Structure 1
Amino acid sequence: MTTFADLGLSAKLLKALEKTNLKEPTPIQAQSIPHIMKGRDLMGLAQTGTGKTAAFGLPLLHRILDLGHPPAPRTVRALILAPTRELVTQIHDNLTVFTKGTSAKVIMVVGGASLNRQAMNLARGADVLVATPGRLIDLLERGDVDLQATGYLVLDEADHMLDMGFIHALRRIAKHIPVKRQTLLFSATMPKDIEEIADTYLRDPVRVQVATPGKPIEKIVQGVHFIPNGDKARLLEEYLKKHPGEQALVFGRTKHGSEKLSKLLAVWGFKVGSIHGNKSQNQRDRTLTEFRNGELDVLVATDVAARGIDIPGVRHVYNHDLPNVPENYVHRIGRTARAGAEGTAVAFCAPAEMDELRAIEKVMKKPIPIIGGAPWSAEMVAAAPKPGQNRGQRPAGGGRPGQPKAQGQAQKSFAPRGEGKPAGKPQGAKPARPMGGGQSPNRAGAPQGAKHSRPQQNRRPA
């Protein structure tokens, strides 16, 4: 059995590791750390929850601690780029634990926080800077940080960085970093664009792969439930009530829809919070802390949280809306079954989401087991509005989204083929027509009058 001591890490790091839950290296750590300590560029492919942060963080800290003197003002020795604020925070927190009792200084910068305060933190320099690309460019343009002495560059969750449109930001940042450096790229999937990035920024890299890209953790029990869009909230309520006291993560497609669903679950008595792009960094941090501490049972989020949430207590992941980027499904469900635990992942599929489901199953190279309803017919799929379609229009009958139609008006049934009523649908309830990919549950207590937002776009965080 390989131990961290066998990998040659410094005594100070080994002492810090003794106070963590890391007792022996994971496969990605055992295979990556020796190459990184030798100074090789590396491309690491591993699914979420396999310990990638320690795989690159520990050997970088080992090499930096060997220098024996502090960094110069405003300079950075090692730069770690990650696509979301939550992931940056998670990496920063892990590295801070690893550096306890050492002289290494780890700083994080993200959008949504005070730019001036971050500039002040960087004034004395940093051994390791963990950053989102957008905020780092802000600091570079102001002259608050200097990357000319940066000898290490880490691109974490590189595939998600591409999905969010950060390739142009990466090119701008790379111009500030010396060509002679050590570059590490970690990703859970391997699209063609990642290969091109590796060819551009890595020199003769070692490739370490410990799992098939896109393959979810085997301990996750998956299932898909075919359900009309307007009935999803009711079905989610049933699932949540089946597992009282067990933490659940719910993913929505849009910021507006996720917030609306969160408020609806709160009305129904659940201890719930939400994180998405419309929340400030302080709000997101506070909600994640409450969820991590067990003060919340349910967290509703957009894909901003698909990566960067490492909470061992999450037992269930519900894809209330299927992602339009199929690889994000793998990262979403990877939020459960952490640290060797077991977990379940249930996907809700409306008629308009059949294409997304097929794309997900293509990435995974196998079908998701059906646990409710039946696959939608081609006629139903063709008739269903796609996410974002009919945006801002009211349902026939003049009611607001989520309200029943006027008395006496007919409403089209969206029952799955071969089924009378979707599982869990109370008698007499009428599903509302899907609007813009959001939630329109026909139930008392639903927030009224909210406008539907556009689907969440890939854009640089604030």
Structure 2
Amino acid sequence: MTFNDLGICDSIKKALDEEGYINPTPIQEQSIPKLLNGKDLLASAQTGTGKTAAFAIPILQQLHLNRSQSKGPRKVKALVVTPTRELAIQIAESFDNYGKYLGLRNAVIFGGVKQEPQVQALRRGVDILIATPGRLLDLMDQGFINVKSIAHFVLDEADRMLDMGFIHDIRKLIGLLPFERQSLFFSATMPPAIVELSGKILGVNPEKVVIKPEQTTAERVEQSLFFVSKKWKPQLLLHLLNTVSYDSVIVFTRTKHGADKVVRALDKAGIASAAIHGNKSQNARQNALNNFKDGRIKVLLATDIAARGIDIDQLSLVINFDLPNIPETYVHRIGRTGRAVSSGSAMSFCDVEERAYLRDIQRFISQQIPVIEDHPFPDDEEEEFVVKAPVKKNKSGNFGAPRTNSGGQNRDRNGSHGNNRNNNSNRSNNGTSSGNSNNNGNRSSRKPTFRGRR
């Protein structure tokens, strides 16, 4: 199927052709016809599946066909609410690209910057408004935004909204919207709180589209796993960045402090990088993202919330410096390099405290992530958690042989990860000889060395 088969008007098809869009992704193929018929939509789809186009294209077409001929300033007809500033900017760019020949006008508003330029854009008249919840309600309270004319409402990344504490803002906003409207609800996961929220936003019997993460990302991305002690993670990252071929890489950390710490280590080693997270100003975050997109820096450190809005074409590599404690988040992360129908590569570090996270991730994606054992900073305790498989060469051939990992399932009856750690020579229950144990013990006493960029 191509976009020509979806009933899209010529002006939008021309813009899509210029963007290089030929075949719709599954969520676009399933969603666009339903939305063009005016249906409400409940969609479960992760970042990277093409969902922005799935809702932007039908909204643009309906606004174009139902354009008001009345005089006076334009009234907001479509509202897209999204959790982060970066994602709001990306969505606005998509509306600009797809609707470049329609004569419609959009604006993006978010906090962290002065409101006056945004207020001026609203005064000039806007057809489509893309906003984060806090600044949206603030400008509504000040009387700068009237939502009574809204015909299309999109709540994007609903699960992230809840994670960031926006649930009360969203409920307040819903009470202010017109009852007669088309509503679109997008969420990567559907826990009970999200299902309840969707019931308050959508009409009776909405259309449903579900794109399962493991069908759209995990099978496309070449994944690899490195068991490493926590203290050696920075050195392993430096080693990979100096030996792996890449054009651009996003490195995910669990905390803001962790991202800043890694940036300092990379800068000290002569690798230009930048971090984006909630403690950074909007200008700093946008400058870092622009430098990354333009190729002035090749390494971007990010926390999960800040990275949700990143949309980079041809991202070559994702590195999970810290494993996430939520399996769906792992799929979101590696999906950064497996955009739409593209393939990509993802490497993950796992220390002993993250073994339970690894087990949950592998169960969620129904895959055993190949383990790379030939690297300079191995984890002394990985033998207790790994069942070796026959040696196989990985696709890149850079790091030796992957092996099948039990994901932490080879534990004692009490489920403990650490009862046997103090005695490296007593591993007979794991099928490891005392001689091997002694070798591992010697390895732990040897401090790894790192040679600079070659």
For Structure 1 versus Structure 2, the TM-score category normalised by the shorter chain is 0.7 to 0.9
Name the structure 2 match of 1:279.
280
Give the equivalent residue in structure 2 for 1:26.
25
Structure 1 runs (4+) deviating above 6 angstroms are 416-419
SS in 2 for 1:258: helix
Q: Does 1:327 align with 2:328?
A: yes
Aligned runs of 1:63-462 on 2, under 5 Å?
63-69=62-68, 73=73, 75-203=75-203, 204-212=205-213, 216-372=217-373, 373=379, 374=382, 375=385, 381=418, 427-429=446-448
Q: What's the TM-score, normalizing by structure 1?
A: 0.80
The amino acid across from 1:179 in the alignment is: F
For 2:256 and 2:35, the matched residues in 1 are separated by 39
Structure 1 residues 382 and 95: CA distance shift in structure 2, 3 A? farther
Question: Aligned partners of 2:76 and 2:264: how far apart in 1?
Answer: 42
Structure 1 SS opposite 2:29: helix
SS of the aligned residue for 1:18 comes to helix
Is the CA contact (8 Å cut-off) linking 1:47 and 1:214 kept in structure 2? no
Mean alpha-carbon deviation: is it higher for 300-309 or for 268-277?
Answer: 300-309
Output the CA distance in 2 between the equivalents of 1:382 and 1:75. Answer: 65
Counterpart of 2:42 in 1: which secondary structure?
strand
Partner letter of residue 428 of structure 1?
K
How far apart, CA to CA, are the structure 2 residues paired with 1:74 and 1:165? 32
TM-score by length of 2: 0.81
SS of corresponding position for 1:346: strand
Per the TM alignment, residue 379 of structure 1 is displaced from its structure 2 partner at its CA by 5.7
- Per-residue deviation, residues 272-305 of structure 1 (Å, max 9, x unmatched): 1111111111111111111112221111111124
Q: Match of 2:188, as an amino acid?
A: A
Which residue identity does 1:13 align to in structure 2? Answer: I
Distance 2:300 2:140 in 1: 34
User: 2 CA distance for matches of 1:212 and 1:334?
Assistant: 9
Which position in structure 1 is the counterpart of 2:16?
A: 17
Worse overlay, 244-253 or 78-87: 244-253
2:37 counterpart residue number: 38
Any idea what the Cα deviations from partners look like across 1:235-271, whole Å, max 9, x if unmatched?
Answer: 1111212224431110011111101111211111212
CA distance in 2, matches of 1:77, 1:114: 24
Higher relative contact order (CA 8 A, sep 6+): 1
Structure 2 CA distance, aligned partners of 1:99 and 1:317?
31
Counterpart of 1:25, as a letter, is P
Counterpart secondary structure, 1:329: helix
Moved more, 35-44 or 310-319: 310-319
Task: Please give the alpha-carbon distance, in whole angstroms, between the structure 2 residues aligned to 1:324 and 1:332.
Answer: 12
The percent of aligned pairs where both chains have the same amino acid is 41
| CA pair 41-82 structure 1, distance change in 2 beyond 3 A | same
Give the Å deviation of 1:119.
1.6
Partner of 1:408: none
Give 1:120 deviation, angstroms. Answer: 1.7
- Summarize the alignment of residues 42-57 of structure 1 with structure 2, pairs less than 5 Å apart: 42-57=41-56
Contact 2:83 2:161 in 1 (8 A): yes
Q: Deviations over 1:105-140 (max 9, x none)?
A: 111111212212212211133211111112212212
* Residue segments in structure 1 that go unaligned for 5+ positions in a row: 385-410, 431-441, 445-462
**Equivalenced residues, count:** 404
Q: Which residue of 2 aligns with 1:459?
A: none
TM-superposition CA deviations, 1:36-81 (whole Å, max 9, x none): 0111001122333221111100000000112333796584211111
Q: Is the 8 A contact 2:110 2:132 kept in 1?
A: yes
Distance 1:74 1:110, change over 3 A: farther
Which 10-residue stretch deviates more, 67-76 or 195-204? 67-76
1:339 Cα deviation after fit: 4.6
Q: Distance in 2 between matches of 1:118 and 1:36?
A: 29
Greater mean alpha carbon deviation, residues 53-62 or residues 372-381: 372-381
Q: Deviations over 1:391-440 (max 9, x none)?
A: xxxxxxxxxxxxxxxxxxxx999xx9977569x9994359xxxxxxxxxx
Q: Which moved more, 1:368-377 or 1:225-234?
A: 368-377
Offset of 1:213 from its aligned partner? 6.8
- The alignment yields a C-alpha RMSD, in angstroms, of 3.1
- Structure 2 unaligned regions, length at least 5: 374-378, 386-407
**Closer, same or farther: CA 252–336 of 1 in aligned 2, 3 Å:** same
**What amino acid is aligned across from residue 76 of structure 1 in structure 2?**
V
Distance 2:104 2:233 in 1: 48
Can you list the C-alpha shifts for 1:328-362, whole angstroms capped at 9, x where unaligned?
11111110022533222122122222333233334
Aligned to 1:435: none
Residue of structure 1 equivalent to 2:391:
none
Alpha-carbon distance in structure 1 between the residues aligned to 2:34 and 2:191: 24
Q: 1:59 to 1:426 in 2, by over 3 A?
A: farther
The alpha-carbon distance between structure 1 residues 74 and 276, as it changes in their structure 2 partners (threshold 3 A), is farther
Q: Secondary structure at the match of 1:17?
A: helix
Q: Label 1:222 to 1:381 Cα distance change in 2 as closer, same or farther (>3 A).
A: farther
State the AA in 2 paired with 1:130.
I
CA contact 1:306–1:328 (8 Å) conserved in 2: no
**2:318 touches 2:334 (CA, 8 Å); kept in 1?**
yes
**Which residue identity lines up with residue 82 of structure 1 in the other structure?**
T
